[in-house]
């Protein structure tokens, strides 16, 4: 089982940037698809970005395409989410997740989750 710890959240002004990191423990990281999701109170957890383990393919929600970049460093057991041109609507708790099999964009297909990191974008 992969264990995940996110970091890098914080408060930033609109138009600014943040880089989230997700440190994974366990040898299974290199063969796990990794995803970032976000959630605001009262709403369902929302897909943000994902990266496959097999060929490094990346996938993004339309709302973040062109602004966010997901990447992974298997040697460091870490996945990143570079967030540029942040908007107030990006404010949420961001979660890192890992899975094997299933769909990359579906939260319920992910079996391991981090504790989340808060991102707040002020206008």
pLDDT at 54: 85
Q: Across residues 108-114, what is the average pLDDT?
A: 94
pLDDT at 51: 96
What is the distance between the alpha carbons of residues 23 and 2, in angstroms, rounded to a whole number?
A: 10
For 68-85, give one letter per residue: b (16+ CB within 10 A) or e: bbbebeeeebbbbbebee
Average pLDDT of the chain to the nearest whole number: 94
What does the angle CA 91 – CA 30 – CA 86 come to, to the nearest 5 degrees? Answer: 15
pLDDT one-digit tens code per residue, 55-103: 899 999 999 999 999 999 989 999 999 999 999 999 999 999 999 888 9
Name the least confident of 10-14, 17-21, 25-29.
Answer: 25-29
Take residue 123 and report the two structure tokens written for it.
């206008």
């Amino acid at each position: 089982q992969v264990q995940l710890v996110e970091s890098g959240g914080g408060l930033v002004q609109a138009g600014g940037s943040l880089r989230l990191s997700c440190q994974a423990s366990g040898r299974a990281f290199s063969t796990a698809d990794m995803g970032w999701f976000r959630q605001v109170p009262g709403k369902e957890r929302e897909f943000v970005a994902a990266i496959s383990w097999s060929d490094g393919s990346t996938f993004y929600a339309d709302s973040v395409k062109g602004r966010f970049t997901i990447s992974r460093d298997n040697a460091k057991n870490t996945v990143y989410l570079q967030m540029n041109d942040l908007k107030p609507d990006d404010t949420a708790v961001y979660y890192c997740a890992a899975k094997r099999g299933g769909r990359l964009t579906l939260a319920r297909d992910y079996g391991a989750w981090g504790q989340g990191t808060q991102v707040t974008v002020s206008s």
